[in-house]
Amino acid sequence: MSQAAVAPRHVRADLKRIASWIEPGSRVLDLGCADGTLLAYLQNNKNVVGAGVELDDQQMIAAVRRGVRVIQQNLEQGLALFDDQQFDTVVLSRTLQSMHHTEHILREMARVARYGIVSFPNFGYWPHGWSILRGRMPVTGEMPYQWFNTPNIHLCTLKDFEGLAQAHKLRITHLATFNGNKEVKLLPSWRSTLAVYRFESPQSYKG
């Protein structure tokens, strides 16, 4: 099957930032890879050796059509299929907040790869607080659901995630924040809707 190219203009800004943190030719595992956009982009532009994990049938078919190798599995079951430090980088993009077992998936990411990259909606975005003061749960671009049908079960702020990372000895090496397709540099805890972190596994350094 021929590998479908992914034009850079069709790749979200947060995915481009993730790609910038991944070394050419490295081994990458993309958890919840959806239609395979990130992995196809990395394969085309950085010659990575990649694999994805996806549960949804239609998304998996779309990823395969892009030339991405995909394993169909529920992430809640863990990453037992993969050996310790089998990958250089493991990515969990816009999925952490919907995981039931947040700590478990982070531990598994640190087990199977030297570096982990996660992104999630920033609940600290200032309009969220304004919505709550008005007595309503926030509904925004990164969290477009109503309280009764949202898949997001573990929302957090930047400081919340940093505290969890520290508790599990995940050394944060990079942070990028976004509001829509624009990267936020000033007051990111308040002004960003999406946070992207890169961390190093404690197996890779002496804590």
Amino acid identity at 157: T
Task: Indicate the average pLDDT of the chain.
Answer: 91
pLDDT at residue 1 greater than cutoff 50: no
Place of tokens 């090496």: 173
Percent of the chain with pLDDT over 90: 76
Nearest residue to 64 (alpha-carbon basis) of 86, 89, 34: 34
> What are 156-185's pLDDT values in tens digits?
999 999 999 999 999 999 999 999 999 999
Q: Which residue has the tokens 């979200």?
A: 12
**Global pTM?**
0.91
Q: Which residue, 84, 76, 120, 135, is CA-closest to 100?
A: 76
Domain definitions of the chain by residue range: 8-202
Tokens of 61: 């078919």
Q: Model confidence at 9, in pLDDT bands (50, 70, 90)?
A: low
Residues in the chain: 207
Residue 80's contacts (CB-CB under 8 Å, 6 or more residues apart) are none
pLDDT-wise least confident of 13-17, 53-57, 117-121, 143-147: 143-147
Cβ–Cβ < 8 Å for 172, 165: yes
What value, to the nearest 5°, has the Cα angle with vertex 112 and ends 79 and 118?
85
Q: Which CATH fold topology does 8-202 show?
A: Rossmann fold (3.40.50)
Tell me which amino acid residue 95 is: T
Say if residues 194 and 181 touch (Cβ distance below 8 Å).
no
Q: Determine the Cα–Cα distance for residues 170 and 83; give it in Å rounded to an integer.
A: 19
Over residues 98-123, the pLDDT tens digits come to 999 999 999 999 999 999 999 999 99
DSSP assignment letter at 169: T
